[in-house]
Structure 1
Amino acid sequence: MPAFHLDLTACHQHLVRVRLSHTPSRSCLRLSLPSWTPGSYLIRDYVRQLEGLTVRQGGRTLEPRRLTPSRWQLELPSLEPLEIHYAVLATELTVRTCHLDGDHGFLALAAVALELEGERWTPHRLQLSLPTGWQAFVPLPEAPQGDATGAEGGGWLARDFDQLLDTPVEAGPHRAHAFSVAGVPHRWVSWGSDLQGRDPVDADPRWLKDLEQVCLACCRLMGVERPAADHYLVVLHLTDSGYGGLEHDLSTVLQFGRRSLGRPEGRRKLLQLAAHEYLHQWNVRRLRPAELTPYRYDQAVVVPTLWFAEGVTSYVDQLLPHSAGCSTEKEVLEDLGADLSRYLLSPGRRVQSLRSSSEEAWVKLYRPDAYSPNSQISYYLKGAVLALVLDLHLRRVGACLPQVLRELWASHGAGGRGYRDVDLIDAFARHAADLAVLLPQWLNSCDDPPLQAYLADVGLRLEPQLAPSQELGCRLEPGAAGLKLQRVVRDGPAERAGLAVGDEWLALDGMRVRNVDDIADLLRPQRPLSGHALLFCRDGRVRTTTLLPEAPAVERWTLDLDPASGEATAPQRQRWLTLEVP
């Protein structure tokens, strides 16, 4: 049985010292470090943080031969037990990397654990050495008392290498808060504090109760009585301004900004993030795309159905707290409206289809640059928009999205059978036959689905709000010498004037500009749409161009009740917003 011992006592060096003990069964042994972690579709090359790899067997040091940057081969002189030693630099605080300092340690084990060829499906042992006063929070069963695996102060057992990699490790002088969901034990662990320096649970006595209700709403959505996991760990990293989460079979890790939590909508947004990751224990982790069954840790895999895995989850994560009684109709409509506005203001939706967004996740979504908004659309965002359309389309014929989720869980998720694109289309078409044609069109087209028509079914409409100034087709921020171009909209006035990201504006119509207010008067909506002489700097050279603004563009969209519908649509809207099954 491969056994990992992770020493976190060198926390001020940010080094995790690893000892992997193993008794080989073959004389040629290959080792590899994963290149990515499930749930985050980007080749991260974790080997960048690995150092000092050495192998010892029977009192001698062996030299591994490197086959690729993250794969090695060992020729063994015997089948005696061996130890592999190395260290991992843990300096990056995200939910998919490692971070170790004097306050806490967090390990995404895909960045730490070497895979031994031929041992992927065998049990693995995990043990930790921690600084004084720390404890570890690990969502694995403990090693049985008296078993050899419980040596050196105990440890944990993973049924195989996949479960080991699916195990986040949080450690520090924290304390856990216990709660249960349908009788299943859960733990909540926070690292970091709110703006007043408090543990979020201590600051909010209703937090765990509301979280329990959200978790129960996830169970109701999936049509099950209990969570998919038989125990569950939630880890929160409360940082200055972070946001994100990563799902696991038996746990989730959340990152949220304390400043955001301090805002009026902050608590609701954190509940939505928790709902998103909690629902993933079904959709994504167990109800999984076939292309990810099993995972291939050394390579990117094209997954055409990420729009369903993440988009559907992103859609319902705003409705789940409302279904649980933790937010009002007004609040959930504000949140849905904000997402729809963000979608409609994304020029990249006219360039990249939803299917392409899913297929290109590895090279686009997680590698954004200043021009990305012009050429791509997030499968999270457009996937959520399509999920909304699908839900309302199904409700026209007496069905709904929750029914499709439940049926897919029964046919694919519960038995670990991976689904493909055709399985999803068939699942929707069983309830509405026209979706056999419409759904592929919506996935492959860059046109918007008919949002307004579906929203009208529930008494809603999207209303445009114009910007208070003429449109320049760019985003500006203060720079060292003037205003700096942060973003240029494709086919907009700035691009037509030959401007590029990074250009610094020095003067407009002969007047010095240092902030956006300096140009506001020239761009008032009532002024004529005339050309303006722009002096700007690029690569150390001062240049000139003529900038011709356009009429004010839509600044945002709001999701409002349609007065023409009156109260007639209120019951249907309530059933939709609470995820009620017809």
Structure 2
Amino acid sequence: MPDDPPQPDAAAGPVIQLDLREPHRHLVQVTLLLTPRCLRPELQLPAWTPGSYLIRDHVRNLEGLEVIQGDSNVVPIRVSEACWRLPLTSLAPLVVRYRLQATELTVRTCHLSADHGFLALAGVVLEATGERWNPHRLELLLPEGWQAFIPLPAAADGAWIAGDYDRLIDAPVEAGPHPCHRFSVAGVPHRWVTWGGDLPARDPAWLADVERIALTCCRLMGETAPASDDYLFVLHLLDAGFGGLEHDHASVLQYGRRALAAPGGRRKLLQLVAHEYLHQWNVRRLKPAELTPLDYGRATIVSGLWFAEGVTSYLDLLLPLAAGVGTEADLLEDLGADLSRYLLTPGRRVQGLRQSAEEAWVKLYRQDASSADSQISYYLKGAVVALVLDLHLRRHGSSLGMVLRGLWRSHGAAGRGYTDADLVDAFADQAPDLAELLPLWLESTDDPDLDAYLADVGLALRPKPANEPFLGWQLEEAAGGSMRLKRVHRDGPAERACLQAGDELLALDDLRLRSLEDLALALAIPTAAAERQLLFCRDGRVRLTGLQPDSPAIASWQLVIDPERDSALKRANRQRWLSLQP
């Protein structure tokens, strides 16, 4: 950073300078220039990244904070874990400097290496008192050969201008020597940037398929063009990984090269594209009232996350097919996998859908060995309820798409946040009985009548039983030829045997266990006793317990076209459903 940075123009708002020129150090050098608007201003770093409902305490990565006013150092007074008050004697301009460690590679955090830089600005830029709704100017200093990709208007001198602090925080920064491909959707400019490869160059049909999906999202929302007037896709193509985060004018995606090369891998990446792109409307502009405006300093309970994420998770399966990318067989396979995962998650009997959304901050993003037994993802159950809602609405001559378009017109396009009551009213307006059914599905831990709704479109779920007795555990092979319990199912045989996650299995009925193959061979040996003798180690002590297996459980569910249910009428209903038509 220059020793004597230019003094800020108070009317123009704060200036943020980010120096990434020593990427091997994994440190971002930050200079914030501003003119204070009071004598006791505060500087605060957000505690979370919007779109990911977890307190991340970004301040843990901040170091070396110093504040200079003229020729004097101002000593910041820490008033909370991520907030400092500045005791000033004048309103002369300030220079604020600090460093941020950028070593966490997710779509919600910051990562700087010799290959690239990615900055989620919620973890980078301090908010100054009185500046939230003022313009912010962003300047970057980059290594030679790098360029920056940011979904903000560019100034003539190479900087970027955000209309206010919220728009700045919503702008992800990707930098590096990356290829950039430009294309358009309904005349709106789009960019595709990949770190870790050049997907559009390797897959010539890629951008055309992305455009088809984007246009299908527009049609679903009843619009002729995207909500953004200039859109950026950033893909981190890694050895392994999966994730995405939505922004008003961008999507940041992470995907594994191995997964992409696997059967169905390309299709699943397109579904991720569809999911984040649809968020351009649902979540970013059509949003829960609790998120208008955002509170960056604390967790905000949002019971409508089931609609924001669950509906989007359901539609991301159908959007590629409706766009002409994929087949009906692909859709049944992918939807069947989600329904199977839902039905095999015992936590759905413990936590309701609304409760899952309200507890997102403390449960969904803090998984442990017992999570599957005590909770259900609002993404997953939200998608199941969205499927049921869509098929229910079709019985009334409507569809989920019609409800989504109505809410967009009444709330999203008007900049109004929706409440739980607004959602129920929107659905009940299309099917009056949903005024009672929808609240029940949101609160209850009972499953909706999936079988009856799937029958409407000639489908059925078929169970596939496991080949071996149910032991009520999930194992992982550890280094050195050993096995440990990764998970113990609630109310299962392993729990009844007083086993717990972390236990190391040593022997079953006097047969040594070193691998899953050893366990399968030991279980295959006939025994007259119902109870098996299991030797295990916990905390360095060897113990013996009796393990009594249950009958084989259902290993998975498969979604199929049922010849006994199918008919010309149901096939027509199915085609309208799959093409997102009422």
Same fold by TM-score greater than 0.5: yes
1:362-407 CA-partner distances (Å, limit 9, x unpaired): 0000000011111000000000000000000000110000000000
- Superposition deviation, residue 525 in structure 1: 11
> Which residue pairs with 1:196 in the alignment?
none
Aligned residue runs from structure 1 range 480-559, under 5 A: 480=480, 482-524=482-524, 530-559=530-559
Is the 2:511–2:522 contact (alpha carbons within 8 Å) kept by the matching residues of 1?
Answer: no
How far apart in 2 are the matches of 1:525 and 1:6?
65
Is the 1:481–1:504 contact (alpha carbons within 8 Å) kept by the matching residues of 2?
Answer: no
- SS for the counterpart of 1:85 is strand
Is the deviation greater in 460-469 or in 562-571? 562-571
- SS for the counterpart of 2:144 is coil
Is the deviation greater in 74-83 or in 252-261? 74-83
Is the deviation greater in 532-541 or in 18-27? 18-27
Structure 1 segments unaligned to the other structure (5+ residues): 194-198
How far apart in 2 are the matches of 1:135 and 1:519?
54
Is the 1:33–1:115 contact (alpha carbons within 8 Å) kept by the matching residues of 2?
Answer: yes
How far apart in 2 are the matches of 1:25 and 1:565?
70
How far apart in 1 are the matches of 2:310 and 2:524?
39
- Superposition deviation, residue 331 in structure 1: 0.4
Is the deviation greater in 509-518 or in 451-460? 509-518
Is the 2:457–2:566 contact (alpha carbons within 8 Å) kept by the matching residues of 1?
Answer: no
- Superposition deviation, residue 523 in structure 1: 3.6
> Which residue pairs with 1:397 in the alignment?
396
Is the 1:389–1:454 contact (alpha carbons within 8 Å) kept by the matching residues of 2?
Answer: yes
- Superposition deviation, residue 276 in structure 1: 0.2
> Which residue pairs with 2:92 in the alignment?
80
1:454-510 CA-partner distances (Å, limit 9, x unpaired): 000000000000011010010112234632101110000000010000011101001
Which of 91, 107, 118 in structure 2 is aligned with 1:95?
Answer: 107
> Per the alignment, do residues 547 and 201 of structure 1 end up closer, same or farther by CA in structure 2, a change over 3 Å counting?
same
- SS for the counterpart of 1:576 is helix
1:98-134 CA-partner distances (Å, limit 9, x unpaired): 0001100000000000000111000000000000000
**One-letter code aligned to 1:178:** R
> Which residue pairs with 2:564 in the alignment?
564
Aligned-residue CA RMSD (Å): 1.2
Is the 1:23–1:81 contact (alpha carbons within 8 Å) kept by the matching residues of 2?
Answer: yes
**One-letter code aligned to 1:9:** R
> Which residue pairs with 1:455 in the alignment?
454
Aligned residue runs from structure 1 range 284-363, under 5 A: 284-363=283-362
Aligned residue runs from structure 1 range 121-200, under 5 A: 121-143=133-155, 145=156, 150=157, 154-193=158-197, 199-200=198-199
How far apart in 2 are the matches of 1:42 and 1:524?
45
- SS for the counterpart of 2:253 is strand
- Superposition deviation, residue 551 in structure 1: 0.7
> Which residue pairs with 1:416 in the alignment?
415
> Per the alignment, do residues 509 and 344 of structure 1 end up closer, same or farther by CA in structure 2, a change over 3 Å counting?
same
> Which residue pairs with 1:379 in the alignment?
378
Which of 111, 117, 137 in structure 1 is aligned with 2:123?
Answer: 111
Is 1:430 aligned with 2:429? yes
> Which residue pairs with 1:47 in the alignment?
59
Is the 2:46–2:297 contact (alpha carbons within 8 Å) kept by the matching residues of 1?
Answer: yes
Is 1:27 aligned with 2:35? no
- SS for the counterpart of 1:423 is helix
Is the 2:481–2:515 contact (alpha carbons within 8 Å) kept by the matching residues of 1?
Answer: no
How far apart in 1 are the matches of 2:518 and 2:143?
55
Is 1:576 aligned with 2:580? no
- Superposition deviation, residue 75 in structure 1: 1.4
How far apart in 2 are the matches of 1:449 and 1:528?
42
How far apart in 2 are the matches of 1:528 and 1:374?
32
How far apart in 2 are the matches of 1:528 and 1:418?
64
How far apart in 1 are the matches of 2:528 and 2:571?
45
How far apart in 1 are the matches of 2:529 and 2:374?
28
Is the 1:468–1:525 contact (alpha carbons within 8 Å) kept by the matching residues of 2?
Answer: no
1:194-219 CA-partner distances (Å, limit 9, x unpaired): xxxxx111110000000000000100
**One-letter code aligned to 2:447:** D
1:426-473 CA-partner distances (Å, limit 9, x unpaired): 100011111111111111010111101100000000000001101001
1:65-115 CA-partner distances (Å, limit 9, x unpaired): 000010000011221111100011000110000000110000000000000
> Which residue pairs with 1:439 in the alignment?
438
Is the 1:57–1:81 contact (alpha carbons within 8 Å) kept by the matching residues of 2?
Answer: yes
How far apart in 2 are the matches of 1:445 and 1:370?
24
4+ runs deviating over 6 angstroms: 525-529
Percent identity, please.
63
Aligned residue runs from structure 1 range 364-375, under 5 A: 364-375=363-374
Aligned residue runs from structure 1 range 196-235, under 5 A: 199-235=198-234
How far apart in 1 are the matches of 2:357 and 2:140?
38
How far apart in 1 are the matches of 2:177 and 2:325?
31
**One-letter code aligned to 2:176:** G
How far apart in 1 are the matches of 2:263 and 2:534?
41
Is the 1:525–1:551 contact (alpha carbons within 8 Å) kept by the matching residues of 2?
Answer: no
- Superposition deviation, residue 567 in structure 1: 3.7
Q: TM-score under structure 2 normalisation?
A: 0.96
- Superposition deviation, residue 526 in structure 1: 8.9
Q: TM-score under structure 1 normalisation?
A: 0.96
How far apart in 2 are the matches of 1:529 and 1:433?
58
> Per the alignment, do residues 525 and 563 of structure 1 end up closer, same or farther by CA in structure 2, a change over 3 Å counting?
farther
Is the 1:470–1:525 contact (alpha carbons within 8 Å) kept by the matching residues of 2?
Answer: no
1:34-84 CA-partner distances (Å, limit 9, x unpaired): 000110000000000000000011111110100001000001122111110
- Superposition deviation, residue 544 in structure 1: 0.5
Number of residue pairs matched by the alignment: 568
> Per the alignment, do residues 254 and 527 of structure 1 end up closer, same or farther by CA in structure 2, a change over 3 Å counting?
farther
> Which residue pairs with 1:58 in the alignment?
70
Is the 2:67–2:73 contact (alpha carbons within 8 Å) kept by the matching residues of 1?
Answer: yes
- Superposition deviation, residue 566 in structure 1: 3.4
> Which residue pairs with 2:6 in the alignment?
none
Is the deviation greater in 527-536 or in 372-381? 527-536
How far apart in 2 are the matches of 1:343 and 1:295?
31
